[in-house]
Structure 1
Amino acid sequence: MTLIQWYPGHISKAERQLKEQLKRVDVVLEVRDARIPLASHHPQVKEWIGDKPRLLILNREDMISNVIKQEWQEWFKNQGETPFFTNAKDGKGVKAINKASQGCGTDVNARRKSRGMLPRPVRAVVIGFPNVGKSALINRLLNRKIVASARKAGVTRQLQWVRISKDIELLDAPGIIPLKLENQEDALKLAICEDIGEAAYNNQEVAQQFVDLLVNLGTENVLKERYGLDALDLTGEEFIIKLAQMKYQNDQERVARQILQDFRKGYLGKVSLEYPPVE
């Protein structure tokens, strides 16, 4: 398969600016995609933020089952982390993040007071891959639409500070991805979930591998329910070809786009692409 690589110039610039701004930040809100909580983790986040408090947010919880959600909750707990599950689209889970962010601000201002300094709003930054729902989350935290948000990668292009309340200031940063997507399995999942831009990949190759991935995970039944074709004894490539013959006048590109779109919009049901690693 062709390598999936995407590193537009504006992201390189944003990464430099973000590192600069991180010095001024008190708490980091790291947003990941609940369908792929490990693949949507930027490997350098910990290195960048050092010992600053970090809230781990798994967005799009509406797109995974409650059973998988509980499994991830348990797994992260065993890693010493407490994930916050959200659906930024309808605001579910956002109040808990607001409260936790303010909690970090209390500590900051206690330290300031001990040094004879006046209290100030806590400074938070929202970071994560493109299109994991950062801007939608910020708009929910603000209770109004203040930053551009869309279901595609690369909408936020520059860093901007926005005031949530007298207690919190928030930095909205563009999506950041590693300079090289070393792990191609992760890159594939990011492409399937549309968490990297379309210019990075070939739709047909990604759709074929998506079908193969569902078969490997044992969840290929969602394809049969949606398209009336069983993928179990077919390769992803064969599935796309056969479905194109059956329903799409042999147009394989159209089939590929349709399958990816159906997954991204939730038409295949609640489908996770990752499960917690077995310890």
Structure 2
Amino acid sequence: MTIQWFPGHMAKARREVTEKLKLVDVIFELVDARIPYSSSNPMLEEIIHQKRRVIILNKADTADEKVTQEWIDHFAERGLPAVAVNAQEGKGMHKIERAAEALMAEKFERQRSRGMKPRAIRAMILGIPNVGKSTLINRLVKKNIAKTGNKPGVTKAQQWIKVGKTLELLDTPGILWPKFEDQRVGYKLALTGAIKDDLLHMEEVAGFGLRFLEAHYPEKLHHWLQIEVLPEETTEVLAMIAERRGIFDRYRDPDYSRAAELLVREMRQEKMGRVSFDFPSDLLVEDDADGGENSSH
């Protein structure tokens, strides 16, 4: 199934981003630390070209710490500085400014050598909806300027915001590609709450999540579901959940749809502890298969 989701304001945002790029020194690309690849935007490469960029892995407290470090190393190998933060709690905020300063150090040193006083670093925050752009800005400026919410697409307008003496931020609504070529990307976005639930069948999302967790975090999954062996069919798991939680339809049969919604909701709420749904090693396998088309991410 191809997921179509490209609201008019997203198309407008892309045009505005392209226009404003010439005003900024640094791009802050905000991604979900649990899915750094799936929550990045392929269009970004076309739009930003050679602009200096920092990858900000937000919600790092929900991701597998070991995998997050693997991602930081993966980006570093490709010349991209990456920092792990938790904007909700304000953890790691200092790393962002430091990374931007490091990227601009050479240029600013040249300016100083010519007797020029370097101005504030102008940066743009980019990311798909619901990765925490507004929360990050609020933390950086320490007051509630950007409108925040937990629904994809809540930030609608662009605005310049001064952050201390060293940074000026342009907050720009996130861009999401018109369709997902890889269905797994859609499932992972749904599992982390980055896209609206009505865009996918929750039973399919739950099934994907179960198989992924069985492959990467079997002990956590079994402990969470209180089982020794994961049933082969997703419907068996959903029936078990429905029975335990009393989720039935009006005929007293298991309500698979509601059970799937519950399962996905609990995956999002980290009921199993910290897990990641994107691994750099998986990406390298895909690169080999497609001739390296995705090598930057």
TM-score by length of 2: 0.83
Aligned partners of 2:153 and 2:173 also within 8 Å: yes
Partner of 1:133: 132
- Cα distance in 2 between the residues matched to 1:29 and 1:231: 43
The equivalent residue for 2:293 is: none
Tell whether 2:291 aligns with 1:270: no
User: What is the match of residue 185 of structure 2?
Assistant: 186
- Separation (CA, whole Å) in 1 of partners of 2:235 and 2:17: 41
1:233 counterpart residue number: 231
Cα drift, residue 205 of structure 1: 2.3
AA at the equivalent of 1:195: A
- Structure-2 separation of matches of 1:82 and 1:107: 15
Q: What is the distance in 1 between the residues matched to 2:118 and 2:259?
A: 57
Q: Please tell me whether the aligned partners of residues 105 and 167 of structure 1 are also in contact (alpha carbons under 8 angstroms).
A: no
Residue pairs, 1:49-198, within 5 angstroms: 49-105=48-104, 107=106, 109=108, 119-198=118-197
Q: Which ranges of structure 2 fall in alignment gaps of 5 or more residues?
A: 249-253, 285-297
CA contact (8 A) 1:129 1:196 kept: no
CA distance, structure 2, for counterparts of residue 231 and residue 155 of structure 1? 41
> Shift of the alpha carbon at 1:111?
5.9
Q: 1:168 to 1:70 in 2, by over 3 A?
A: closer
SS at 2:155 equivalent: coil
Worse-superposed segment, 92-101 or 75-84 = 75-84
- Gaps in structure 1 of 5+ consecutive residues: none
Mapped partners of 2:228, 2:134: distance in 1? 38
Contact kept in structure 2, 1:123 and 1:168, CA below 8 Å: yes
Q: Is 2:7 the counterpart of 1:3?
A: no
Counterpart-to-counterpart distance in 1, 2:88 and 2:179:
30
In 2, Cα distance between equivalents of 1:50 and 1:187: 25
Alignment RMSD (CA, Å): 2.4
* Residue identity matched to 1:100: A
- Matched-pair contact (CA < 8 Å) for 2:34–2:64: no
Q: Contact 1:131/1:194 (CA < 8 Å) preserved in 2?
A: yes
Identity %: 37
CA 1:168–1:268 in structure 2 vs 1: closer, same or farther (change >3 Å)? same
Once the 2 structures are TM-superposed, how far is the Cα of residue 266 of structure 1 from its aligned partner? 1.8
- The alignment covers a number of residue pairs equal to 277
